[in-house]
Amino acid sequence: MAVLPIRIMGDPVLHSPAAPVEEITDEIRTLVADMFETMDTAPGVGLAAPQVGVPLRIYTYSYADDDGAPWRGVIINPELWIRPLEPGEPDPDDEAEGCLSFPGERFPLRRSDDVLVTGLDIEGRPVRIQVDGWRARIMQHEFDHLDGILYVDRLGDGDWKTVQKIARKRGWGRPGQSWTPGIDDLEG
């Protein structure tokens, strides 16, 4: 397995919808294994294929609940259903999230508390996941990547201006920017 470079917010692959996986091949299995290694090394709780420069509808996830029980997997060609968002501003303490494609920063973002995701696992078997809380947030965040949406694209005006300042300062607004977890400095 190999740790893959993670694309930073200006890379075009992050802003384009990903293509469906037509067939689960050995190449796809290797990609998924490398994505798990990259996600773990970063460290992160999810990683979408576009984040490593591959425009396919695949994401991995890994999270331990409050009791330390692991929850880990891959979803290929996911479909996402969400319960409507509750109105109001996000709670900065309970609803802040970050992203490996905008490393080192966190911003509050309102997400649905309940989701249903369907798709395929690495063996091509149907997957159906219904989760809430942080697990629901992970599913929505990674699914957004497959549609070319970064979480910073969903922020309010004040936080969006802060994101733009950070991106300019770090040079992350240009195509081709990436960092390799465990090797490169997160600051770009």
Our answer to whether residue 27 is catalytic in this structure is no
Ordered DSSP codes for 120-180: E-TTS-EEEEEEEHHHHHHHHHHHHHHTT--GGGGS-HHHHHHHHHHHHHHTTTSTT-EE-
* Spatial contact of 103 and 179, defined as CB atoms under 8 Å apart: yes
Q: Which of 37, 105, 142, 187 is catalytic?
A: 142
Burial of 147 per CB tally in 10 Å (0-12, 13-18, 19+): middle
CB atoms within 10 A of CB 142: 26
Edge-to-edge strands, sheet with 58-64: 46-48, 58-64, 70-82, 114-120, 126-132
Which positions are catalytic? 142
